Structure 1
Amino acid sequence: MSVDPKDIHAVYERQATEYDKRRSKALFEARWLARFTASLMPGDHVLDLGCGTGDPIARWFMAEGFAVTGVDFAEAMLAIARDRWPDGDWRHADMRVFELDQQFDGIIAWNSFFHLTADEQKDCIARMSRHLRSAGMLMLTVGPRAGEVSGTVGSELVYHASLSPADYATCLEENGLQMTGFLAEDPETQSHTILMARKI
């Protein structure tokens, strides 16, 4: 693996405008977002962890009537979100160490969680569980199998990592969460691998 996970923050700062330009706004994620919110009610509070520019994921939640808190470590990404939705709750924090003084009805980390190393992902799952209310929902995009690969943001390579599905299930259970869905390389979501869980 030639891509350094420590470079990810700088890449997103440099590539924010280009990333936003290239990011699909067609909401190919809508089927999974609807499944994620099936047990939630409008007005419930969703944490978008690694929210980027807020478009299209946070935008979808806001349009559906949910209260959204967006967290990202790249100020350049948040600047775009704040420009679009100046009244939004956009917070600068790193998902590896974030500590918020509240719990959420749902947490989503779409195209962000997989930038963490395997050990950081385990720590982050514990952190996310602490920020979820009882029966709260969690949805992550991960890899289809254990390993490290590279992806792209704008014109630059970035680090991706994943545990195995079995290791995710174990880590979730150790943190009071139960896996409720896992689909590898879903052809309807541009081959994303999606994991869903509920806090027990």
Structure 2
Amino acid sequence: MAGLTAAAIAAVGFLAYQASANVPDDLGKGSASKSPEPKKSTAPAERDKGKDKDDKALPDDSGTGERVVYDLDEDRVWLVGANEKVTRTFEVTPSTVDPTPATYSVTSRANAITGSDGTPIEHVVLFATADGVPIGFSAAVDGSTPEPDPTVKTGGIRESRTDGKAMWDFAGIGTKVVVVE
């Protein structure tokens, strides 16, 4: 039992470290023949400022029932409650490793931890592993979103603190997470 607990703490700590990273909005998107100018990344709360948070429709191929839907192409999450009602939608900042489009379940959570880089992280909700990297949603307590190191595989999907709290309240252990493109 102690071994499992230590492994879980190590996985959450690793995710917390990853969650302290941020990727540019255009990373992984198609590009023109010339290299685009690097853009300064912004936190999800800053990107959503002044926007209607319900302005994006739930993807058609996102399953049924109560679930979290994560759209890799849109960098957006929907929390879908009873009767297919979207209770919240928001933009997220992806990491350098994406989960494969599929249906998952929340496997572990941590309310508040310190990442291996010393950054306090909260509302960590893990649901997958890709390329040996834990994948999940989280928010940095200080709202930081530093530029990620593209040579390091990270799996933390960054949310604003407000959106992280909403995810935490919605997605308990076993909650379905549907990843679409």
TM-score scaled to structure 2, two decimals? 0.28
Higher helix proportion (structure 1 or 2):
1
Higher relative contact order (CA 8 A, sep 6+): 2
